[in-house]
Amino acid sequence: MVKVLDATALMVYLKKEPGYERVKEAFVNASESNKVILMSTVNWGEVFYLLIKDQGIEQAERIQKIIETFPIEFVAPDFLITKQAALFKAAKKLPYADCFAAGLAKVHKGEIITGDNDFRAIENEIKIIWIK
């Protein structure tokens, strides 16, 4: 099944917070099986913003270059993903950026890797891989 990475999961991995082992395992499994993990560019933007805020632009750009070596395919939301994100926002009251991870997972029939409890609102619609 297609895996979709949420911003929280990537930040947990980068900071080696509790749960990072589950994200690392997903990366290793993706690499070993020649697959990629999808991530919305909206969620990547959230990660990049947090890196800039916490560590400054130069460090954020250095980390970005490292992330570009990970088995992640960044997906710009198209009309269908954006529509699904809007439907989640209207019906489930998820934070807007989270709606793009959810929309990406729904459109690609995937499962979300996250530690963000906001995703509990959609557990009955999309499989969640909880990292903590």
Domains of the chain: 3-130 (3.40.50.1010)
Question: Cβ contacts of residue 108 below 8 Å, gap of 6+?
Answer: 2, 4, 38
Question: Which amino acid type is present at position 91?
Answer: A
Q: How far apart are CA 132 and CA 114, in angstroms?
A: 8
> DSSP letter at 71?
S
pLDDT, tens digit (0-9, with 9 covering 90-100), for 50-85: 999 999 999 999 999 999 999 999 999 999 999 999
Q: How far apart are CA 68 and CA 89, in angstroms?
A: 29
User: 36 — alpha (psi -120 to 50), left (phi > 0) or beta?
Assistant: beta
User: Is pTM, for the whole model, over 0.85?
Assistant: yes
pLDDT, tens digit (0-9, with 9 covering 90-100), for 103-127: 999 999 999 999 999 999 999 999 9
